[in-house]
Amino acid sequence: MRVHRLWVIVIFLTELLLCFRPSESQTPLTCHPRDLNALGDFITNLEPKPEDWLANDNCCSWTGITCNSSFTGRVTKLELGNKKLSGTLSESLGNLDQIKVLNLSRNFIKNSIPLSILTSPTLQTLDLSFNDLSGEIPQALNLPSLQSLDLSTNNFNGSLTRSIGNLSSLVRLDVSWNSFSGEIPDVFRELTRLKYLSAQTNRLSGGIPRSLASSRTLNLLNLRNNSLTGPLLLNCTAMVELNSLDLGTNRFNGRLPENLSVCKRLKNVNLARNGFRGEVPESFKDFQSLSYFSLSNSSLVNITSALRILQNCKNLTALVLTLNFNGEALPPDDASIVGFEKLKVLVVANCRLTGSVPRWLSSSRDLQLLDLSWNRLTGAIPSWIGDFNYLFYLDLSNNSFTGEIPKSLTQLQSLTSGSISLDEPSPDFPFFMKRNESARGLQYNQIVGFPPTIELGNNNLSGPIWEEFGDLKKLHVFDLKWNELSGSIPSSLSGMTSLELLDLSNNRLSGSIPGSLQNLTFLSKFSVAGNNLSGRIPSGGQFQTFPNSSFEFNNLCGERRFPCSGEASSAGTTYIKHSRRRSRGGEIGMAVGIAFGSVFLLTLLALIVLRARRRSGEVDPEIEEESMNRKEIEETGSKIVVLFQNNNDNALSYDDLLDSTDSFDQSNIIGCGGFGMVYKAVLPDGRKVAIKRLSGDCGQIEREFKAEVETLSRAQHPNLVLLQGFCFYNTDRLLIYSYMENGSLDYWLHERNDGPALLDWRTRVRIAQGAAKGLYYLHQACEPHILHRDIKSSNILLDENFDSHLADFGLARLMNPYETHVSTDLVGTLGYIPPEYGQASVATYKGDVYSFGVVLLELLTDRRPVDMCKPKGGRDLISWVVRMKSEGRASEVFDPFIHGKENEKEMVRVLEIACLCLSGNPKQRPTTEQLVSWLDHV
């Protein structure tokens, strides 16, 4: 017993002594002098310096530094990504001879990469992506331990060095979005661990080298948007791990490789926009792994054989065959085609196909997107299309369909009450939409980007517009133009509460425009032109924003436009009425009448010819615009682009802008706003810019346009999107802006699935602070002061560091040059427009503050200003927040991704600021100067 007690005492004392023994974790690591000196030299060339660097001699405690745990204090990781660093890299980084991870991505570092970094024996991860680095990759590249190399989105040029073959441990290589040229070196036989290779959007030429085309380890190969040529030669027997192959937008030719189906794990294949010809190989019937397949914009033939073969691909979910099989017949039901059981996306547009919609298509019960537009299909639209439970995008426009619109389309489940949350057939590959008159050059990188749509325009459809269409509450685009539809416009269409576009023009509709359509609060485009409508044009809701052309060639009238009988006219124009009162001067009236009648007849004749051409399929929007772009390039020649603060000796021309955007090709579109399309461009010197191509008539001659743009260019602030230059040439008015790498705040909050989770609270506060400073500058510091008039989350752009920049300021004035900056021409977006704008048509600085308050609520709640998908009581963001506050439930409005005890006090403060901005009395709203001060103290 005493022995037992003795052992207990011994064990207790031993454990007590161990508790007082210093552990490794309690002993602060001391930085090695060699590494300290190297880091000191490195940071000397960069600004701003991290606050805790050089504050003491122990670099192991500095931000972004990780040291090993063996008491030697050697630096193993240097991670300063997204720190706004500008400057150059020092050769001293090579003295960090124990470093394993070097991450300096998403900064502003320029010039070349020091050779010492590229010969480190220990480096495993090197990420220098999203910087301004330039020059060629040295031939002396030698990193035997490197597993991941990311040099994407820089300005590197020259050829890809053969010394890539020295990277024997490499698993991931990304050199996308640079200016590399020449052939891909044939050195991949040595890279026995390589799984991921992306070199998209460069200037690479030649073919795919044999060693790369035989890689046994490669999982993803992305060489999209280069100038690769020749036949496509892949050793699919060897490529046993290949899962994703993207060779779109190159210059490959010849026939499709017959052995592609031998790649047993290959799921996603994009071969669009090449020069392939001939038929789909018979061997593709064994392509059982294939899920996404795009062959658009090629010269393929025999659609019957292609569909007969591809139906055997039992896992095929997306098939895009646009611009192929020119003038062939869509295979009928007796063509040995059973159907595509798992297909979710089918696009066979712009092929000038004849025939009718075949019954075998009805077997694709999971179809979500069907596009057969711009063909020559005839017959009735099948009623069984309404049985597709998941269909949310239907485009049968620009064909020759006849008969009534199937009533079953009013029951499409995904457009009534179903969910449009989709499984992506291939989130990595872009879907290119055709050009047409309603949506030019749209590109959607994901299926969920497509707006819920029914497009049946430019056919020969007759009969009524069914009242039941009002049940499609999820529909965004409803286009029935250029048909023979008759009867009245159903008032029930007001039930389509998500509708953004409603085009009923050029039909045989009669009656009046239902006043209930004023309740369509999202409606941004509306037209009933060219019908037999009469009565008063509604004046509420969005109707006051629609142009006169939306109502012309009817017997319509309404205030502020075409006054009804007995009302005073300010415009003195009644051209949308079929009957016109004669002027007192009979001869003058007759002369004017003859002249107008001649113009009217010529216009009518032109419309008839255009419609006939559309009926016959002679107008192909993609080919038509491409030929127009070629013609513009041939005829315009060179025109100097004005660049503000241009320090370069080389002048920039209009042709350079055409080259940098591939003649404003749809693949370069990065945005579409109320003033025109926005294109990404890489200028000849390698700089990335955004080019806004203004739509519509600016109403100015070049001198006036130049003067106004130069005024806007003087608005320079770190939180504004910088206007770098402009070009006024022929009918083109182009504005050149700084490129914002991370797109809009709206995208991160409302479109990208993981966006809200990636925007932490401090990032959101910084975004709000920056936007407030930009708005303060416009309102009070800029000369002349500028009223924005369209503050919203999609006009707050984010750079590579997620710093915010206001966009589109001053464009309302540029497009309406004869108005003052404090204008009566209201511009705004639903959900952001202050209540007083509906009472007095005068835009004000306090109106901008109101809109900014809505943006603050979006940052706090991750909700849109108006969301018809929410239950009643929660659709209007402002009303919902006010109600929740009044019920003492304010904490429940915060986005769960950012709501935590450590943030709640600050979030409540920002909520109070937002509510002050949203005061119903404009005088009680804060100034932008107050906003900046309040937000800076959050």
Tens of pLDDT, residues 430-474 = 554 433 333 333 444 455 557 889 999 999 999 999 999 999 998
β strands within 44-154, DSSP E: 46-47, 65-67, 75-79, 86-87, 101-103, 108-111, 125-127, 132-135, 148-150
Dist CA 482 CA 255 (whole Å)? 40
Q: How open is the CA angle 542-547-551, to the nearest 5 degrees?
A: 95
pLDDT at 4 over 80: no
> Radius of gyration (Cα) for the chain, nearest Å?
31
Res. 16 pLDDT band, cuts 50 70 90: very low
| Per-residue pLDDT at 640 | 67
136-272 belongs to which homologous superfamily?
Answer: Ribonuclease Inhibitor (3.80.10.10)
CATH number, span 637-738: 3.30.200.20
| Per-residue pLDDT at 175 | 95
| Per-residue pLDDT at 8 | 42
| Per-residue pLDDT at 68 | 87
Dist CA 932 CA 503 (whole Å)? 43
Lowest mean pLDDT among 505-509, 743-747, 786-790: 786-790
pLDDT at 388 over 90: yes
Dist CA 31 CA 297 (whole Å)? 59
pLDDT at 810 over 50: yes
**Amino acid residing at 610:** L
Could you tell me if 425 and 269 are in contact, meaning their C-beta atoms sit under 8 angstroms apart?
no
Q: So where are the chain's domains?
A: 136-272, 637-738, 745-936
Residue 834 token pair: 């202050």
206: left (phi over 0), alpha (psi -120 to 50) or beta: left
pLDDT at 864 over 60: yes
Burial class (CB in 10 A: 0-12, 13-18, 19+), 549: exposed
Which of the residues 174, 246, 665, 790 is marked catalytic? 790
- Nearest Cα to Cα of residue 914 among 873, 870, 861, 835: 861
pLDDT at 240 over 80: yes
pTM for this one? 0.65
Lowest mean pLDDT among 29-38, 353-362, 390-399: 29-38
Report, as an integer, the average pLDDT of 392-410. Answer: 96
pLDDT at 424 over 60: no
| Residues 6 or more apart whose Cβ sits within 8 Å of residue 640 | 651, 652, 653, 654
Report, as an integer, the average pLDDT of 279-295. Answer: 94
pLDDT at 250 over 50: yes
Dist CA 220 CA 242 (whole Å)? 6
Binding-site residues for ATP sit at: 692
Note if 876 is an active site residue. no
Res. 427 pLDDT band, cuts 50 70 90: very low
**Amino acid residing at 227:** S
Binding-site residues sit at: 692
Task: Share the mean pLDDT of the chain.
Answer: 80
Res. 201 pLDDT band, cuts 50 70 90: confident
Integer angstrom CA distances of residue 926 from 529, 853, 921 = 44, 10, 11
- Nearest Cα to Cα of residue 401 among 376, 378, 371, 372: 378
pLDDT at 212 over 90: yes
Could you tell me if 213 and 237 are in contact, meaning their C-beta atoms sit under 8 angstroms apart?
no
Res. 621 pLDDT band, cuts 50 70 90: very low
pLDDT at 844 over 50: yes
CATH class for the domain made up of 745-936: mainly alpha
The pairing of beta strand 318-320 with beta strand 292-294:
parallel
pLDDT at 605 over 50: no
